[in-house]
Amino acid sequence: MRKYLDRFKDYLSSERNYSRNTLRAYTTDMGEFFRILKENDVLDTKSDDSALASLDENAVRFYIARLHKSNMKSSISRKLATVRIFFEFLTKNGYMPNNSARLVPTPKNEKKLPNFLTVDEVIKLIDTPGFDKPLETRDGAMLELMYSSGLRVSELVGIDLRDIDLESSTIKVLGKGNKERMVPMGSKAVSRLRLYLSKRLDLKPKNEALFVNSRGGRLTVRSVDRIIRKYALLSGIPKNVSPHVLRHTFATHLLGGGADLRAIQAMLGHESLSTTQRYTHTSIEKIMEIYDKTHPRA
């Protein structure tokens, strides 16, 4: 199959304009594909043409089954995509009558639920930052707000001063697809934000971002992730704590407190079960009522 693999590489480079790293990855995948078929006598190795003739839907299914058995489930989709592109190349150039790899469905990945914190753990995490230094008050307000409102980290760093309403305990966030939504804040989050805002000018902010770094610029997603992990370590929580874990913790605690699933989806800005329109019928007043009854820090 060497001549077909060499032509495949030329095809990826010239017609698809793939980078050197991508070419290396595709070559590695195809090398593994042929090795597995050869070792299990699925590939006819008498000649390149006979090997080509043995490539069919059953050969691809065998390959996928071996990957699955070898506990390589997380990379099966990518490897199958590589094989499909190789078969597409063979078909396009008349080496194969049809792309039988398309007949092999992509296996569904098992979705693992992210970790979540207990109420005691999340309170320990939130209470770890101090209450005096500007950066520590920022971190405390940030942690409290993420747990209080279930924000995505991208939404958190995008918040401007004009987006928060401490009097009504609500915050406007810009979610996926540039869709705005109003989200409740708990009384603890409001208190922490008031404290941080009283010290925010000490950080010499250069813009209207709510959360700024030590140089006055907008806090980044990477910085938030690093800050959360730092306080998780300092608070002695034996879990891998990330921004998404806090978001999942928010939803888990609301659901455990009896909150309506549609209200939780509206607060999270999820569209996984239906479209956004389904959630917009839940008014902000109803959401606030549910939030006050079910959130541990409301």
Among candidate residues 248, 279, 295, 297, the one labeled active-site is 279
Q: Which string of DSSP letters, residue by residue, matches 211-259? A: SB-TTSSBPPHHHHHHHHHHHHHHTT--S---HHHHHHHHHHHHHHTT-
Task: Say which residues have a Cβ less than 8 Å from residue 59's Cβ, sequence separation at least 6.
Answer: 37, 42, 43
Count of other CB atoms within 10 angstroms of residue 12: 19
Tokens (6 digits) for 94: 């008349």
Query: Is residue 125 packed enough to be buried (19+ CB in 10 Å), middle (13-18) or exposed (0-12)?
Result: buried
279 catalytic? Reply is yes
Tokens (6 digits) for 124: 């320990």
199 catalytic? Reply is no
Among candidate residues 79, 138, 152, 253, the one labeled active-site is 152
Is residue 141 classed as helix, strand or coil in its secondary structure? helix
> How far apart are alpha carbons 119 and 297 in whole angstroms?
9
Among candidate residues 262, 270, 295, 297, the one labeled active-site is 270
Tokens (6 digits) for 78: 């990518």
> How far apart are alpha carbons 38 and 298 in whole angstroms?
62
Among candidate residues 176, 206, 222, 239, the one labeled active-site is 176
Name residue, tokens 């079910």: 294
278 catalytic? Reply is no
Phi and psi (nearest 5°) for 238? -80, 50
With contact defined as beta carbons under 8 Å apart, do 257 and 294 qualify? yes
Q: Which of 123, 72, 136 lies closest to 33 in space, CA to CA?
A: 72
Residue 39 zone, left/alpha/beta (φ > 0; ψ -120 to 50; rest): alpha
Among candidate residues 247, 262, 295, 297, the one labeled active-site is 247
68 catalytic? Reply is no
**Which residues are known catalytic residues?**
152, 176, 244, 247, 270, 279
